[in-house]
Chains A and B, each alone.
Chain A
């Protein structure tokens, strides 16, 4: 009883801090345009939006660029073990220190690639060992949340909306292609996923942590913020001058992004996604999909990255997640992620499949262990 009460109190406190901001995000309509203000000695107060749940009690009044924009420049890393969705069943939104330590330990144990238990089927997918992985992805977020999703308040994605037969067909085709890939029997390069084909990877919004290369370099110049994710070497050039989006017939793999500052927060909106399967999050509908992302530097070494996805044809309501970005430079750097140039895997996968089609004797049966 006592523990449930405590959970409710924690949940309510967390909700009070976070949900108002999430609802602000979920509102439709054009946010107020704001031009970069001239260099000011005091930070701009801007739109009143409570800071996302963070350890610091007072908002960080940090540096601005000489032309007056909040300074987001640097190399940042977004790796974490905190799951996107809160595990099913009961659970607090935010943990106390002891719970957090246990949570972090269990996640790290689940995710570490140095484990050799579980049999060969599991082991082969744990390649490679931890040397090759981002060590930061074994840590939970500093604010001890149990999910990256902050809205809905249960930390889980909203229910799915029934999708059209056309989209069901596309999903079925993708699932069939994925099954062929998992069996090592792809038919053709173009049925492999976009990351394996080296077309888009982490650079496709929303930015999500993965097993390595969770690095983003932010550049700024008057009138622009530019985000360069490590994978795959693209630059998201974001004009801040209120120009309109590209016309509807100019679609791009990474969409078209426009931004402005609301106080200390960079707010960006992206439209014009190509309708190829895989350009938008988890099979959402590119025509009705809206993604808004917010970057707020909350400490010298932390940016809170918040995104809201809104697609009424895929989810019953919008949903929001917050992922902290941690500064890593100058001690560490971002390096070139050439991908297509040395993508031998595609040839291995395809030639391997053809060899095994020709000679089924190559396919070994599972041995009992």
Chain B
């Protein structure tokens, strides 16, 4: 029996909005440009486990031999901490692939829509090499 309550309206109102306007929870398109998708592989030099967004610094070697330093914006680290990841879970030297959208002002900043290891495994799912989680904080 097909339930009639399921309809497209669910999509538009499905997202729970907080008290303030819907734009509160980061319309990422405000800062990052849908017309500037980026895909690159680079080496992590630093990860900042901070809120409201974690930041991953990635050195990207260009074909001409120069290096660009990108700042990749990620989500709240607290979600990862709850799953047992720590600041040791993404160490400098790790090579990652970034699939995201570049900043609207053209600076070397992107939101990390999808972050993976070069072999396609997603980061932060206990993948080896990035530092498997030690387990949740122990009592």
Contacts and interface: CB of A to CB of B under 8 A. Distances in A.
B55 A344 contact: yes
B105 A90 contact: no
B124 to A, nearest CB: 5
Contacts of A345: 31, 52-53, 73
A39 B80 CA distance: 40
- How big is the A interface, by class? 35 or more
A131 B52 CA distance: 16
B35 A127 contact: no
A367 interface: yes
B111 A230 contact: no
A85 B76 contact: no
Interface string B37-51: 100000000001011
B37 A103 contact: no
A333 B3 contact: no
A178 interface: yes
Interface string B64-98: 00000000011111111110000000000000000
B20 A194 contact: yes
Contacts of A127: 28, 32, 73, 75, 100-101, 111-113
A343 B80 contact: no
A193 B30 CA distance: 13
Interface in A179-214: 181-184, 193-196, 198, 200-202, 204-206, 208-213
B24 A194 contact: yes
Contacts of B7: 87, 89
B31 A210 contact: no
Contacts of B73: 127, 345
A178 B3 contact: no
Contact of A178 (B23, B34, B53, B139): B23
A364 interface: yes
Interface string A55-86: 00000000000000000000000001101111
Contact of B81 (A206, A335, A355): A335
A335 B23 contact: no
A245 interface: no
Interface string A326-360: 00001111111111011111001101110110000
A256 interface: no
B14 interface: yes
Interface stretch (A22-30, A42-50, A274-282, A293-301): A274-282
Contact of B29 (A125, A132, A212, A348): A125
Interface string A224-245: 0000001000000000000000
Contact of B23 (A95, A126, A193, A348): A193
Contacts of B50: 338, 341-342
B79 A365 contact: no
B35 A120 contact: yes
A87 B19 contact: no
A216 to B, nearest CB: 13
16 contacts: A84-B13, A87-B7, A99-B1, A99-B3, A124-B34, A127-B100, A128-B74, A133-B75, A178-B21, A183-B30, A206-B19, A210-B25, A212-B79, A278-B20, A349-B30, A351-B105
**List of 6 A-B pairs having minimum Cβ-Cβ separation, nearest first:** A132-B75, A91-B5, A352-B105, A120-B34, A342-B50, A364-B35
Given A193-B23, A209-B16, 10 more contacts: A81-B14, A103-B5, A110-B11, A124-B32, A128-B115, A330-B139, A338-B51, A344-B53, A344-B55, A352-B31
